[in-house]
């Protein structure tokens, strides 16, 4: 991508950020326009997450991907059309889950209050409520986000961090959306729940430098273990690996313990050991679950405010997968 189009992206982001100062998100934004909205969402989430707890990880990740690309504007939910390759269709999307869940919930809310509750708010609220439902921290979600009119697949490559990124690049990706090193380490703690695919770590296990070797920053016993019990070949596209083995549905300190044992699943997890500053934050989080929960709450509130559209910006989508 040329520096010219890079500039354009930056200008778009600036416009989004400046626009966001016109109106503010507020707690209970729907209390008059759709008083039951938040309760409908939390009831629906509670009902389903207790049956399928692994969905909580999926819904949290959707929120993160939404916010990093053009702000928390529901753009991650849009399906591509003939003329537009949407975010969903870009490589980082490949393993996102939970879209059907959000779409069904949206239809329930449309039946209650047509055209009122944005998809962007539904994403933010379902992420929060599902983490609470599995016993994780609870953060405030001020509402009033509006849905974006653009979903551009190419932007995901520019804005989302990738599992092969080094610490410098990760810090840069977070800074690009106004988040700092502490947010990086704290929000990476979300990898205490959920799964990755063998395909995401195949080169790390089997061909790291192109000589049939493994990534030396990954504990060699763990490499052997993964190769014999999980990712049995470099070509495996389907097998799932827990990021925090044994407690994939429990929001705890397990991720940081794994990382310290050099068992973080992705290079981006291992990278958090590559500076004193990030190691210190890991050790700080490990002092207590309360510490981690409190810090996670603060960082999630920051994440949820990235580049939001408010007031008369954007729209309220009727169907989350389609711009009106
Ligand atoms: C720091 C940079 C990050 C990178 C490079 C990254 C990368 C990834 C990758 C590659 C996967 C698994 C994909 C697969 O193989 O199926 C994943 C899963 C996940 N990520 Fe991240 N992530 C990052 C930060 C975050 C943040 C900030 C959050 C949320 C606050 C998050 C939440 C999750 C969750 C919950 C899953 C599991 C999803 C599931 O079970 O379906 N990640 N991440
Ligand atoms: C991190 O990755 C970027 C992009 O691949 C590269 O330019 C940079 O040199 C790397 N930094 C370190 C410290 O390895
Ligand atoms: C490992 O990487 C090298 C260099 O990129 C490549 O030539 C080789 O085919 C790879 N091996 C496998 C098994 O994919
Ligand atoms: C969930 C989802 O929309 N996944 C899409 C991601 O992109 C690929 C193409 O790159 C599609 O085939 C998937 O359907």
Q: Which domains does the chain have, with CATH numbers?
A: 36-163 (1.10.520.10), 167-301 (1.10.420.10)
User: Which atom of ligand 2 lies at the shortest distance from residue 274's CA?
Assistant: 13
Residue ranges lining ligand 3, Cβ < 6 Å: 207, 210, 234
Check pocket membership of 271 for ligand 1, CB cut-off 6 A. Answer: no
pLDDT band at 1 (very low <50, low <70, confident <90, very high): very low
Residue 241 to residue 227: CA distance in whole angstroms: 11
pLDDT score for 153 = 80
pLDDT score for 170 = 98
H-helix segments, the chain: 3-20, 37-51, 55-68, 99-112, 119-133, 153-159, 167-176, 181-188, 198-206, 220-229, 254-260, 267-270, 276-285, 289-303
pLDDT score for 259 = 98
Q: Which of 157, 162, 167, 168 maximizes ligand 2 atoms within 8 Å of its Cβ, making it the mutation to test the pocket?
A: 168
Q: Let me know the angle formed at the C-alpha of 282 by 187 and 138, rounded to the nearest 5 degrees.
A: 40
pLDDT score for 226 = 98
| Residues 192 and 252: beta-carbon distance below 8 Å | yes
At 117-145, the pLDDT tens digits run 999 999 999 999 999 999 999 999 999 99
Mean of per-residue pLDDT scores for the chain:
92
| Residues 139 and 128: beta-carbon distance below 8 Å | yes
Tell me, yes or no, if 50 is annotated catalytic. Answer: no
pLDDT of 29 > 60? The answer is: yes
Q: Which ligand is nearest to the Cα of residue 201, counting in written order? A: 1
Closest CA to 303 of 100, 65, 77, 117: 65
Closest CA to 269 of 203, 192, 209, 206: 192
pLDDT score for 94 = 53
The proportion of the chain whose per-residue pLDDT surpasses 70, expressed as a percent, equals: 90
Q: What is the mean pLDDT of residues 229-246?
A: 96
Residue bearing the CA closest to ligand 4, atom 10: 89
**Which residue shows structure tokens 């997450």?**
49
User: Which atom of ligand 4 lies at the shortest distance from residue 93's CA?
Assistant: 6
Distance 256 CA to ligand 4 centre (A): 31
Distance 90 CA to ligand 4 centre (A): 7
pLDDT band at 83 (very low <50, low <70, confident <90, very high): confident
CA 22 to chain centre: 26
pLDDT of 152 > 70? The answer is: yes
């Amino acid at each position: 991508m040329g520096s010219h189009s890079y500039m354009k992206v930056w200008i778009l982001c600036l416009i989004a950020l400046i626009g966001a100062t016109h109106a503010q998100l507020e707690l209970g934004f729907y209390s008059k326009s759709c008083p039951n909205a938040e309760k409908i969402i939390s009831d629906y989430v509670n009902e389903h997450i207790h049956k399928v707890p692994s969905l909580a990880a999926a819904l949290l990740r959707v929120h993160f991907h939404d916010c990093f690309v053009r702000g928390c504007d529901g753009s991650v939910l849009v399906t591509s059309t003939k003329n537009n390759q949407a975010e969903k269709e870009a490589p980082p999307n490949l393993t996102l889950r939970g879209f059907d869940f959000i779409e069904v919930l949206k239809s329930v809310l449309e039946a209650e209050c047509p055209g009122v509750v944005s998809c962007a708010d539904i994403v933010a609220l379902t992420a929060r409520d599902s983490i609470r439902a599995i016993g994780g921290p609870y953060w405030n979600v001020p509402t009033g986000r509006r849905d974006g009119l653009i979903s551009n697949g190419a932007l995901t490559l520019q804005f989302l961090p990738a599992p092969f990124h080094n610490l410098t690049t990760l810090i840069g990706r977070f800074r690009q959306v106004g988040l700092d090193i502490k947010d990086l380490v704290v929000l990476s703690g979300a990898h205490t729940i959920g799964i990755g695919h063998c395909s995401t770590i195949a080169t790390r296990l089997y061909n790291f430098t192109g000589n049939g070797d493994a990534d030396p920053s990954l504990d060699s016993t763990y490499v052997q273990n993964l190769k014999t019990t999980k990712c049995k070949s470099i070509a495996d596209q389907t097998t799932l690996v827990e990021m925090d083995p044994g407690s994939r549905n429990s929001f705890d300190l397990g991720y940081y313990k794994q990382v310290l044992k050099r068992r973080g699943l992705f290079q981006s997890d291992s990278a958090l050991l590559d500076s004193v500053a990030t190691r210190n934050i890991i050790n700080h989080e490990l002092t207590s679950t309360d510490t981690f929960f409190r810090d996670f709450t603060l960082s999630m509130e920051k994440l949820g405010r990235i580049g939001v559209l408010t007031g008369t910006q954007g729209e309220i989508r009727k169907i989350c997968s389609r711009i009106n």
